[in-house]
Amino acid sequence: MEAIDQWRESLSEGAQVEAATAAAVIGGGLLVGALTLTRRRRGFFAWAIPGAILGLGVVLLANVLLDQRSERIEETEERITEELASLDPIARAQVLKSVGEQQLDAVFGS
């Protein structure tokens, strides 16, 4: 639970609302699924609604996660661009070459 609290605190206020909405929709889907299960309903249409509600909640939560990831990427790009701008062109090229080689080694192995 501590990891969830830390993640929630790292979100902006708008993203916290979206994440809470997604969690509520997922909870609603689970509740509808539990009701369907207790009433011993079978068949596609009995499970289509809980499945759709759960799916919607997962999509909403994934949207929050992808937005947070995009924000972090943009912030990192800005910081790196500022740091590179402070270097002379040759030093900038050396840094980019070194980072590129490290990343290629990490992806493809040495």
Q: SS3 for 36?
A: helix
List, for residues 29-73, the tens digit of each pLDDT value: 999 888 888 888 888 888 888 899 999 999 999 999 899 899 899
- Cα–Cα distance for residue pair 76/83, rounded to 1 Å: 11
- Cα–Cα distance for residue pair 12/68, rounded to 1 Å: 9
* Domain range for 61: 2-108
List, for residues 83-108, the tens digit of each pLDDT value: 999 999 999 999 999 999 999 998 88
Number of separate domains in the chain: 1
Q: SS3 for 41?
A: coil
- Cα–Cα distance for residue pair 23/2, rounded to 1 Å: 17
Give the chain's end-to-end CA distance (angstroms, integer): 39
List, for residues 14-24, the tens digit of each pLDDT value: 888 888 899 89
Report the amino acid identity of residue 45.
F
